[in-house]
């Protein structure tokens, strides 16, 4: 749990679905899962970074995006969809989508091709840099790309930018769950990033408080951008997986977001209250987005479908009766007209 703010982002709690220990057959681990680079990626959550980078360049949340049934590009990686030509990156959608649709609807329904085309216009470096600015700071650490290139001392951010990997917008890379939670805290704090801080205070043996040196908070994106993007994310709860779980009258601003990989189901949602939710692994923040990687037994998958169908994570969050009665209609941040309609893109053709 991270409490947002413009002077601090206090960590209230962390949790993992694994016990600490050496018995891997029993599901134990010694890896610091909640606060290190691990896992199978956050999937479409990363579309938020591409969107934020585009908004900084002049795109608005009412801007119309093309949603082709298939997108192909050279020089942005290779492979992907079936029948992909050599040295070409190919992306298709998991379903049928109308085209065009505005950014808000695209964030809600998550067509892959729209965001693949968007990152080709924005540029991979801008999207990656935005992710680091908003909170994925481990991506900039030297050597953080070693899980992908063991002999390299390159940062994961530089690794992705150097190879111009377009699939970054689809979130295939490992991540730090605490940092991803802090990305949401940054958006909820009007674009102010602060280091996640688990320390209330330090005292010496005499009871005297000891000063803690921490990295200062930073306004990493304009407040209007952060507020407008947070507002745009709110439609996901009406158009996405959550509508199948809760009646519309109880919806709050939320972005239910999952990857399409069979091994993880991260969820991002906005809520106004502070109430822990039962789950295998879930990270919550007061007045803040909820972000978590939820791992469930096969019985749950048989009941709710598969991770690929994007139903498992939302069911964990929204069908929990202890949490459900707490859900109320929320209030979104005020939008900035400049980031609603957008303006001339700096150095780029019209959206």
User: In this predicted model, what pLDDT tens digit does every residue of 297-337 receive, in sequence order?
Assistant: 444 444 444 445 445 455 555 554 444 444 444 556 789 99
Helix axes 112-122 and 47-57, enclosed angle (nearest 10): 40
**CA gap 55, 344 in Å, rounded:** 11
Q: Which residues contact 31 (CB under 8 A, 6 or more apart)?
A: 38
Tokens 């609603």 found at: 340
Tokens 């001392």 found at: 153
**CA gap 113, 117 in Å, rounded:** 6
Backbone angles phi, psi at 257, to 5 degrees: -130, 130
Judged against a pLDDT cut of 60, whether residue 181 lies above it is answered with yes
Output the pTM of the full model: 0.80
**CA gap 291, 302 in Å, rounded:** 24
* Contact of 227 with 333, CB cutoff 8 Å: yes
Number of H helices and number of E strands within the chain? Answer: 12, 14
Secondary structure element (H or E) that encloses residue 310, with its range: none
Backbone angles phi, psi at 126, to 5 degrees: -65, -40
**CA gap 286, 23 in Å, rounded:** 34
**CA gap 285, 15 in Å, rounded:** 13
Helix axes 223-232 and 177-188, enclosed angle (nearest 10): 110
Confidence label for 348 from pLDDT (cuts 50, 70 and 90): low
**CA gap 78, 90 in Å, rounded:** 7
Domains annotated for the chain, with CATH where assigned, are 2-244 (3.40.710.10)
What was the pLDDT predicted at 234? 80
User: In this predicted model, what pLDDT tens digit does every residue of 317-328 receive, in sequence order?
Assistant: 555 444 444 444
**CA gap 250, 326 in Å, rounded:** 10
User: In this predicted model, what pLDDT tens digit does every residue of 69-126 receive, in sequence order?
Assistant: 999 999 999 888 889 999 999 999 988 999 999 999 999 999 999 999 999 999 999 9
Judged against a pLDDT cut of 80, whether residue 138 lies above it is answered with yes
Helix axes 124-134 and 112-122, enclosed angle (nearest 10): 100
């Amino acid at each position: 749990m991270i409490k947002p703010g413009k002077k601090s982002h206090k960590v209230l709690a962390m949790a993992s679905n694994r016990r600490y220990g050496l018995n891997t057959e029993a599901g134990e681990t010694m890896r610091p899962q909640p606060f290190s680079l691990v896992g199978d990626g956050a999937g479409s959550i990363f579309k938020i970074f591409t969107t934020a980078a585009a908004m900084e360049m002049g795109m608005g949340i009412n801007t119309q995006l093309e949603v082709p049934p298939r997108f192909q590009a050279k020089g942005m990686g290779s492979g992907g969809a079936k029948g992909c030509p050599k040295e070409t990156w190919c992306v298709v959608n998991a379903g049928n989508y109308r085209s065009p649709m505005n950014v808000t609807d695209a964030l809600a329904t998550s067509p892959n091709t729209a965001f693949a085309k968007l990152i080709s216009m924005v540029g991979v470096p801008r999207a990656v840099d935005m992710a680091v600015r908003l909170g994925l700071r481990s991506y900039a650490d030297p050597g953080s790309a070693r899980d992908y290139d063991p002999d390299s001392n390159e940062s994961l951010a530089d690794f992705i930018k150097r190879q111009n990997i377009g699939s970054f917008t689809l979130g295939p890379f490992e991540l730090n769950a605490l940092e991803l939670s802090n990305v949401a805290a940054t958006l909820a704090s009007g674009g102010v990033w602060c280091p996640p801080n688990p320390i209330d205070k330090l005292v010496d043996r005499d009871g005297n408080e000891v000063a803690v040196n921490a990295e200062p908070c930073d306004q990493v994106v304009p407040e209007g951008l952060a507020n407008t993007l947070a507002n745009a994310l709110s439609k996901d709860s009406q158009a996405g997986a959550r509508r199948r779980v809760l009646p519309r009258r109880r919806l709050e601003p939320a972005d239910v977001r999952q990857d399409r990989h069979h091994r993880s189901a991260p969820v991002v949602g906005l809520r106004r209250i502070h109430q822990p939710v039962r789950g295998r692994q879930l990270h919550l923040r007061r007045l803040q987005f909820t972000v978590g990687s939820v791992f469930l037994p096969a019985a749950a998958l048989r009941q709710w479908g598969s991770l690929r169908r994007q139903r498992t994570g939302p069911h964990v969050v929204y069908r929990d009766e202890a949490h459900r009665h707490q859900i109320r209609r929320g209030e979104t941040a005020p939008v900035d007209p400049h980031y609603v309609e957008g303006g001339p893109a700096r150095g780029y053709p019209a959206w």
